[in-house]
Chains A and B, each alone.
Chain A
Amino acid sequence: MNQQPFLRTFTAPAVLCAIAFLAAMAAVLQFSLRAYVPGSLEPGGFTLANFADLLKPLYSRVFLDTVWICALTAVSTLLVGYPLAYAMVRTKSAILKSILLVIVVTPLFLGEVVRTYSWIIVLGNNGFINSVLRDLGIIQQPIQFMFTTFGVVVALVHVTMPVMVVMLAAALSHIDPDYERAAESLGAGPVRTFLTVTLPLSMPGVVAGVTTAFAWTFSAFATPQLIGGGRVNMISNLVYQLGFASFNFPFAASLCVAGLALTFVVLSALRLAARPLEKIGPH
């Protein structure tokens, strides 16, 4: 039928949402181009000063730190998540699969604050790790995990795991086990089979997982805020501080805009770099 009933009724709400969202993004863009008036919530006239300020070492440092943390997290999550995804997909028992899936997916729905808080308890000077090590007599002084990049990355890896494992599992589950059986029948041992057959075929999933992990980590706020405690700052934390401590919304907005540009650049670079890798996988 060539008619399109409901088209207007069904599209209108979506259009309204899109307008609201675009208006919010436009507000950020607009503010990033306005001057900051100290002591007031109203912005001043149009200027590019905010973006010029971004080039100062203080702020460009935060950009680099953010990229570094995101990259570190993405790669670590891949290394830790891959075996789990593999186990989840290759188990024969359906119950085990369900259990693994629940364990992996549940953290995803707990929210940043609960997860980050639990890591505070694990990593703190009086936290789990330090208490256990002290009780066992291995250390005298607590090891400093809080307020370090290491602590932040560990917590971030934990936060990003569900997403990575789910994407890897999706890719792995679509690889026909017959490929591995064929390799074995031709004499390849398990390690060789994995390296030459399974891993290459899972490349699209790996690329998707790493890219998503990177984008997700970039958006992290509670984890670096609570565990970083002001000493480890990502762009998100800086935006919050500028907005709520100094009320310098214009500058915060420019940080957001620069952050978006940075994500776009890094993700595009990742995509380009990954293209030869993706060709190895099945199309």
Chain B
Amino acid sequence: MPQSAYQRALGFCGTLLVLLILGFLVLPAAVVAIAAFNDKAILSFPPQAWSWRWFAKAIAYEDFRAGFRNGLIVTAWSSAIALLVGASFAFVIDRYRFPFKRTLEAILLSPLVIPHFTVGLGFLILAAQIGLSRGFAVVVVCHVVLVLPFVLRSVYVSLRNLDQSYELAAASLGAPPGRVLLTVTLPLLLPGLVSGWLFAAILSFNEFTASLFVTSQRTQTLPVAMYNYVREFADPSMAALSVMYIVATAALIVFANAFLGLGKVLNIEQGH
């Protein structure tokens, strides 16, 4: 479509604005990357010399390693449990009717609007009251509760988009409900299940506020370890760790977008 000079100018300003905003978004990551490669210990710009030493130090730092291990344990358990609970309950919400169904759903979705510090404090107090030590169990349960809403929504959306005639066809061919579920429903739901699980895993691994409340020295996850580090030390090890974090997460997102179509999951219409 031919454009007037006015429209072109407007378009130019618009592009400039968007670039500025993108710059704002990307600035911290870029700055952290520069800081991570700085040879000196003090954060200064621009760096005089470049080096990998902070990366080496970050990887070798025991608290970070322990945090990473703990994080993996907690994430593996909580994302798996959340997937099981979320997928089965999403199935129930979609297919069945029973009293208090909506109430139960509302309860399980409420962590979306309840601050993590409240949830964290709650589990901390609860654990103390029932005499449970601050081990992995509390952390896992807390994380499950926090990531469950995301799994629920992701699986529910997939279920809604599933054409029911496939399951009816399977039943007409003689398959009892269990068989239909295993051979038809689950395979067709796989993308939704995987993206729900991925979402839950990433959120759990990076969860900080509630974890700060419920983890102990022994069980602290990586974000908590990083927090403790920043409060005490000012060297760029954290920057190096952050860079590794950003690269890994970006790779995961690109992968998720390519295979699962991030736009669809976030309800953004393609093609407009």
B50 to chain A, nearest CB (A): 16
Q: Are A102 and B230 in contact (CB under 8 A)?
A: no
A121 with B118: CB separation less than 8 A: no
Cβ of B37 under 8 Å from chain A: no
The minimal Cβ–Cβ distance linking B46 to chain A, given in whole angstroms, is: 8
Category for how many chain A residues contact B? 35 or more
Number of interface residues of B (CB under 8 A): 94
**What is the distance, in angstroms, from B7's C-beta to the closest C-beta of chain A?**
6
The distance from the CB of A76 to the nearest CB of chain B, in whole angstroms, is 11
Q: B226's closest neighbor in chain A, by CB?
A: A113
Contact A106 B209 (CB under 8 A): no
Check if A20 sits within 8 Å of B145, measured CB to CB: yes
Q: Is B56 part of the contact surface with A, judged by Cβ < 8 Å?
A: no
Interface residues of chain B: helix, strand, loop or mixed (majority): helix
The answer to whether B85 and A236 touch across the interface, beta carbons within 8 angstroms, is no
Proximity bits, B64-98, A CB within 8 Å = 1, else 0 = 00000000000000000000110011011000101
Residues of A within 8 A of B141 (CB): 20
Interface residues of B in 204-250 (CB under 8 A from A): 205-209, 212-213, 223, 226-227, 230-231, 238-239, 241-242, 245-246, 249-250
The 7 A-B pairs of least Cβ separation, nearest first, read A111-B206, A24-B122, A118-B28, A219-B115, A131-B45, A14-B89, A10-B88
| Interface, chain B (partner A; CB < 8 A) | 6-7, 10, 14-15, 17-18, 21-22, 24-29, 31-32, 34-35, 42-46, 84-85, 88-89, 91-92, 96, 98, 104, 107-108, 110-111, 113-119, 121-126, 128-129, 141-142, 144-145, 148, 177-178, 181, 202-203, 205-209, 212-213, 223, 226-227, 230-231, 238-239, 241-242, 245-246, 249-250, 252-254, 257, 262-263, 266-270, 272
In the bound assembly, the distance between CA atoms of A190 and B223 in angstroms comes to 46
Q: What are 28 A-B contacts defined by CB distance under 8 Å?
A: A4-B96, A7-B96, A11-B98, A17-B108, A20-B145, A22-B107, A25-B118, A27-B125, A80-B21, A110-B206, A111-B206, A111-B207, A111-B208, A114-B223, A114-B245, A117-B238, A118-B28, A121-B28, A122-B28, A132-B45, A166-B268, A189-B6, A226-B231, A235-B115, A236-B209, A240-B212, A249-B125, A263-B115
